[in-house]
Structure 1
Amino acid sequence: MEETIIPYELPEVENHSFFFVDIHLETDVEAKLHRHNAWELYYVIHGYGNRIAGDTLQPFSAGDVALIPPDMSHRWEFAPASADSNGCIRYLMVAFSHALVERCMAVFPELRNRLTGITFPTDALKFGSESSQTIRRMLSQMNEMDELGRLCEMFRLLPVIFTSSDHTFASKPMRIEKDVRRMQRICTYVMAHYSHSISLDEIAVEAGMNRSAFCSYFKRCKGMTFSQFVTQYRLNTACELLKHSQKQVSEICYTVGFNDLPHFIRVFTNAMGISPSKYRKQFKTT
């Protein structure tokens, strides 16, 4: 069944030009797929899970910084095991309209000089290590400031997020709304069922297509087969569990949907260039 995309306006903050929150949330308070007419800059402080942005499904973890453009449907699903001792995850989020950017550029030449001529992204961005470090520091400082301090910091933040060069696209361009919604439905289904075998017949039914048409459609949209996509998602999830959990490699193997430990180790090693146990050890020592 297709998941409903919920359009909504961000809460109005009286006498404020943008929306800033420090959220502590229980993981069972699940955010549905939604969209709004604002930029959303998101810094995960505690927790990990999976994110749908546009047509793309990706894992995220603590420290990640992402930018969601206006009107892009998105959803952040935190893994229950990623909660803190109080059962909560935490993130900082600042949301602002594009009209705010345009008004600031019109009024303040200093900001206009930095932003004139840039192409504003139309797809979600995940920032690289350098930009993420800068943005994390700025958002953390904003969290300790009064409203005037936050406004001043916004003038410094806007050029950072819109002129960053060390980012990756966290959603693939796909402009046909029907295709976006269908791919989101496929991604949502994979998120819910990846720990078990997913047959082509059942995912084709979920997408409202026959098996042959689905295989052609998915390869055209994603540049890979559905089986490759599921394997990639399982490996990404395994990486997060190796980083953030104390589960044994054998347990992670079955948790992410592999039914054979030697096969899991072989596939993981071929994809990552290192075995699961060495990957965990390397991450723990960095």
Structure 2
Amino acid sequence: MEDTPIPYELPETENHSFFFIDQRVETSFEAKLHRHDAWELYYVVHGYGTRIAGDTLQPFSAGDVVLIPPGMFHRWIYEPDSADDDGHVRYLMSAFSHSFVERCVELFPELRNRLSGVVYPTGALRFGAESSRIIRKMLAEMNALDELGRLCEMLRLLPVVFTSTDHTPVGSPMRIERDVRRMQHICSYVMAHYMHAIPLDEIAAEMGMNRSAFCSYFKRCKGMTFSQFVTRYRLNTACELLKHSQKQVSEICFMVGFNDLPHFIRVFKKATGMSPTLYRKTTIPGRANPTGNRDMKG
């Protein structure tokens, strides 16, 4: 996959030490799969959709805070019906180079004391409820400050980001260029066809492989079977529909590609620990996600 320019340019280092943006855009205005040489701290203020981070395809919702490491391919795809009344979604994002972190640690003993011994993540992370609350508050405060004020706030933010234990992995790096292309193709195909059955022969042919070779390749790259991958994506999509729509459970069942309601309920309950109806009741706005650390990685 060739690098695709992001829809904004990171500033030149002689003018800024890091980048911060408050972006309100239409859902059709989205970056393609891309990467850049910077950490990306991304807070979804309004909207929901699907995130690709490294080898992982996963739904996201408003309130999510995710850290993408430098060099990782990623993409945020907002659903059209997740826009506000003006047709926009909104996110706050800060991007900063690793050399910026290293220079700050070298220059400020107070920061060095906080980050001493830290092992920086190589994969994408989604922060948990408490860390997300803190980071959202700090990013929102940065938005109201001038450049110098944002720099001061950034020095407070770095220890929160890199010492938090309240997070779950949401993507591992894919270091082989060919695998990046293939997995992006597979993810895009699943996103377009998950509502219907996707036979192994069909997806294998789409990838120019025979069935056996495709199954071995996919298991090696993802650590799960293609069927497990599709099921997890369908369940994650069902969770988003339960949280953000008023559709009946039976309707959602068929919308996400399950052809049997009792089977859907059994699979959903096994993955989340509760029925779809109970999940909807316990994930109303302002309540914590009941799946907790049992997040269904896709």
**TM-score of Structure 1 vs Structure 2, range by shorter chain:** over 0.9
Q: What does 1:182-201 correspond to in 2, within 5 Å? A: 182-201=182-201
- Cα distance in 1 for partners of 2:236, 2:97 equals 33
Aligned to 2:277: 277
Q: Structure 1 CA distance, aligned partners of 2:221 and 2:25? A: 34
Partner of 2:120: 120
Counterpart secondary structure, 2:67: strand
Distance 2:87 2:251 in 1: 23
**Contact map agreement 2:122 2:172 (CA 8 A) in 1:** no
CA distance in 2, matches of 1:120, 1:86: 39
Q: Is the 8 A contact 1:54 1:184 kept in 2?
A: no
Gap runs ≥5 in structure 2:
288-298
Query: 1:205-224 maps to which residues of 2 (within 5 A)?
Result: 205-224=205-224
Q: Structure 1 residues 70 and 229, CA, compared in 2 at 3 Å: closer, same or farther?
A: same
TM-score using structure 2 length: 0.89
Amino acid at match of 2:166: D
Q: 2:56 — aligned with what? A: 56
Q: CA–CA distance in 1 between the matches of 2:271 and 2:126?
A: 21
Q: Could you say which residue in structure 2 is the equivalent of 1:6?
A: 4
The CA deviation string for residues 87-127 of structure 1, in whole angstroms up to 9 with x for no partner, is 11111000111121121122212112222322211111111
Paired with 2:157 and 2:282, the residues of 1 have a C-alpha distance of 33
User: 1:282 Cα shift?
Assistant: 1.8
1:242-266 Cα deviation digits (max 9, x unpaired): 0111222222122211223333223
* Cα shift at 1:5: 4.0
Match of 1:71 in 2: 71
1:213 shift after superposition:
0.8
What does 1:1-286 correspond to in 2, within 5 Å? 4-7=2-5, 10-12=9-11, 15-284=15-284, 286=287
User: RMSD of the alignment, in Å?
Assistant: 1.9
- 1:210-232 CA-to-partner distances (Å, cap 9, x unmatched) read 11011112223223211111011
* Residues 173 and 33 of structure 1, relative CA distance in 2, 3 Å threshold: closer
Structure 1 position 11, deviation (Å):
3.1
Note the C-alpha offset of 1:29: 1.6
- Structure 1 residue matching 2:283: 3-state secondary structure: helix
Q: Offset at 1:274?
A: 1.8
The one-letter code matched in structure 1 to 2:9 is: L
Equivalent pair of 1:194/1:257 in contact (CA under 8 Å): yes
Q: Distance in 2 between matches of 1:208 and 1:72?
A: 25
Listed one character per residue, the Cα deviations across residues 115-140 of structure 1 (whole Å, up to 9, x for unaligned) are 23222111111111121111111001
Give TM-score scaled by structure 1 length. 0.93
| Percent identity of equivalent pairs | 72
Which digits, 9 at most, give the CA deviation of each residue in 1:182-234, with x for residues without a partner?
22221122122211221212211233321101111222322321111101100
Is the CA contact 1:5–1:32 (under 8 Å) kept in the aligned structure 2?
A: no
* 1:111 and 1:155 in contact (8 A); partners too: yes
Matched residue of 1:15: which SS? coil
Tell me if the contact between 1:24 and 1:90 (Cα under 8 Å) persists in the aligned partners: yes
* Conserved? CA contact 1:42–1:92, under 8 Å: yes
